[in-house]
Structure 1
Amino acid sequence: MVKAYIKGIEYYCPQQIESNPANDKLTEKIGILTRHIAKDNELASDLAYMAAEKLFNSKICEKEDIDFLLYCTQSPDHFLPTTACLLQSRLSLSTTCGAFDYNLGCSGYVYGLSIAKGLIESGAAKNILLITSDTYSKYIHPLDRSVKVLFGDAATATLVSSTNSEEDLIGPFDFGTDGRGADNLIVPAGALKEPISSVNLEETTDSFGNVRMRKNLYMNGPEVFNFTLKEVPRSIQNLLEKSNKTKDDYDLFIFHQANKYMLEHLRRKLSIDEQKFSICVENFGNTVSSTIPIALKNELLQGRVKNSSLLMLVGFGVGYSWASCNVVWKSNT
């Protein structure tokens, strides 16, 4: 039977690095020491291009092999055209290649895997280039420490291909959405509902001394934290039931890398063995849709993911949106 599987992953981070304050209680709590930040003239699509070129330079496939491009971003070049079309041209992919953007944040990688799986197992595609890329730093006010110390910029490129297998190598999935939480992680102004004007360019200072405008990213940290603790365990339980598995069956859990404090809280709440739990935020920060593939790539490099390893991937955040899935890793060597 034709099944989808992850054939390879690469990532790219901007060269510019910002450090969080050393010997600082907040830095220690979130576990983020440094973050990669895009330059003023460096777009998310530039990072996406570099990640894709890195994947192709690994010789895992040729550009002509790609028959679909999926691009997950909340930092598009334009309202229109879709940035995926611009990347198709810039990467010199075939004009017979399908391409589209989808706007999701921290759950975006798992959603992308589900789309890729559907395209491949329906026979619509054989090799899919799944790219995640965001530059949240461009939405953040430099004096808003509530978000500045958390978010970094990055892009990843994943090759999802077809293979013959009797077992699912990606899936099943569990999805969830609660748009009632939209205002708790949002860039209020800049699109059609609230165009940029002199009113939303006025700076305000909150009770903690954080400065922002309405064109900047705003996050209600406590509410996002509460949402996570409520919905992530429920999604994982749903996935276990769909998979007919227990947590003990998994070799590694890779959650959205929001920050160390949240990850450790989830790990303890879910009683997951520390040795089976990935934390990869120290030198990246929260890179939104790219956190899971970056962590997965680093776990591969460290040898914690082996052939036939069973992984659980869990994304959650802005939207609110969440998604979880199983991945069976298959080595190409």
Structure 2
Amino acid sequence: MPTLLSLKNVCCSYDEQPVVQDFGFSMQPGEICSLLGPSGCGKTTVLRAIAGFESISAGEIALCGEPLSTPSSVKPPEQRQIGMVFQDYALFPHLTVRQNIGFGIIKHPQRQQRITRLLEMTNMAAFEHRYPHELSGGQQQRVALARAMATEPKLLLLDEPFSNLDTDLRRRLSFEVRQILKDQGVSAILVTHDQEEAFAFADQIGVMQQGKLLQWNTPYHIYHEPATQFVASFIGQGHFLPGQVQGKHLSTELGLINNPTPNRWPEGSPIEVLLRPDDIIIDTASTIRADIINKTFMGAITQYTLRLKTGSIIESVLSSHHDYSHSEEIGIRIDAQHVVVFPAPSH
């Protein structure tokens, strides 16, 4: 399958200060991808460079094999066949829903039919004569999506499009938008700092830190096989426990764990083991004890924050049918199916 978009060794700078460094990935037609990272890591800069709003100081950005940006040449945004949905939607306040959607396709031979199809696709047909100020945030987001799709772009860019919505609406709308994109075979890149949103929305995720791409992979592999300690700690909840290599096992204060890579480090090497809440089982018969220092009821499950006798902090999730008390001492054990291990940092 031919590559849709490729970035090779891309660098971006502001006032000679590097913002994005040696950045690269590729995506296939029909894929939905996400750039994920904390605020200020450079993800929006990458998105704007792909759109043509930012120049690059090194590398190349290409769409369907055709260069869009190099340090010496930049194809204008309007010639890139790339659509963009902004964080603030950027709808025209003086235009109706129908007029907003059709703004970029005035010369399209089947303009009205296409607008009607997009209205139906986004469930906005009943609101076509309303103005943006008469719409809810979720409705405005649907209009912004329809307008971006009206020009039939080869690639759609989404810059934190759900961040202004409340949690329930954000989750529901991101699911709806993903379904629309998949049904239409539209390729897209979502920028977000919300890992749950990225996991639910994207086929491939790129985790960024300080302008660098640390890992590009599926949500499953990002979660279970993080490439760095930053990725491991940023993705999902979890805590690192110190340990030591003992042949085919890893020795920790919670007991022995199977060593997933027994030939990776020498015997006795200090390591850190990432334990996520689903790795810790509450077991009343266990001799390993922990104190509950916090609990969060989440409906079907309750998440417990635990302090071990050494002072180390870990977390566990349990069906909310069980209800342990704050400050209660409980027994725990490890049930880790995907052990994530890193060498202990040198001091």
Comparing both chains, which one has the higher relative contact order based on Cα–Cα distances under 8 Å and sequence gaps of 6 or more?
1
Calculate the TM-score normalised by the size of structure 2. Answer: 0.19
More helix by share: 1
**Structure with larger Rg:** 2
